[in-house]
Chains A and B, each alone.
Chain A
Amino acid sequence: QSVLTQPPSASGTPGQRVTISCSGSSSNIGNNDVCWYQQLPGTAPKLLMYRDDQRPSGVPDRFSGSKSGTSASLAISGLRSEDEADYYCAAWDDSLSGVVFGGGTKVTVL
């Protein structure tokens, strides 16, 4: 059971908007930045979003992040076939003094 809660799956057709939620607590999301990772099949995870809503260079602006209280969201607009991947949220946890992850959301492009 992961500390952060994500839906196991999400899907959409090309061009649609898909949103993934990530729910935590006051010791992690409520008090610290949220990051998102994209893991394409057979590859290592890649940083997709940091500090709740900041994109590293090279990440398309179709990806956006937000946070409110102890929950965060990742939105993918203009869904494309190459967005088919697993997406994970992560945050520092003050109680653990370490990093906690969500269980991951598999995005399928129909």
Chain B
Amino acid sequence: EVQLVQSGAEVKKPGESLRISCKVSGYRFTTYWINWVRQMPGKGLEWVGRIDPSDSYTKYSPSFQGHVSISVDKSISTVYLQWNTLKASDTATYYCARIVVTGTGRFDPWGQGTPVTVSS
């Protein structure tokens, strides 16, 4: 069974750093891109960016470029989303999702989500 299991909820202060994770199992890890999607409280879905686990190539939405970074550790089939300087506006639930066919919006499956709260 294909599974994406994310790390647990986080509570941080503005200015702090954070790395959340998405552990993949059930298929050959380097075959499919992994994406991150943000959902702010009571709002819709926003694509953050993606990584190709085979070569670590990343692509970010212009809205997130320069503020987050996506990385991968192939040895443990895990993808990360990292912030160096959190802002209150980063408060959201972040989902990782596998893209099934390159060049489509077909995400399947999704991780369970990691709630991130940034508050002083």
**Contact of B103 with A92 in the complex, beta carbons under 8 Å:** yes
**Contact of A92 with B104 in the complex, beta carbons under 8 Å:** yes
CB neighbours (8 Å) of A46 from chain B are 110
B61 within 8 A of A: yes
B59 within 8 A of A: yes
Main SS class of interface, B: strand
**Contact of B106 with A2 in the complex, beta carbons under 8 Å:** no
**Contact of B59 with A45 in the complex, beta carbons under 8 Å:** no
What residue of chain B has the Cβ atom nearest to residue A34's Cβ?
B105
B108 within 8 A of A: yes
CA distance A97 to B59 in the complex (A): 8
**Contact of A90 with B110 in the complex, beta carbons under 8 Å:** no
Residues of A in contact (CB 8 Å), total: 27
**Contact of B103 with A35 in the complex, beta carbons under 8 Å:** no
What residue of chain A has the Cβ atom nearest to residue B49's Cβ?
A98
**Contact of A102 with B44 in the complex, beta carbons under 8 Å:** yes
CA distance A97 to B103 in the complex (A): 8
Q: Which of B103, B104, B105 has the most CB of A within 10 A?
A: B105
What residue of chain A has the Cβ atom nearest to residue B107's Cβ?
A47
CA distance A100 to B45 in the complex (A): 9
**Contact of A101 with B46 in the complex, beta carbons under 8 Å:** yes
CA distance A37 to B50 in the complex (A): 19
Q: With A47-B108, A98-B61, A99-B35 in contact, is A88–B103 under 8 Å at CB?
A: no
Q: With A44-B95, A88-B45, A104-B45 in contact, is A56–B108 under 8 Å at CB?
A: yes
B47 within 8 A of A: yes
Q: Which residues of A contact B (CB under 8 A)?
A: 2, 32-35, 37, 44-47, 50-51, 56, 86, 88, 90-92, 96-104
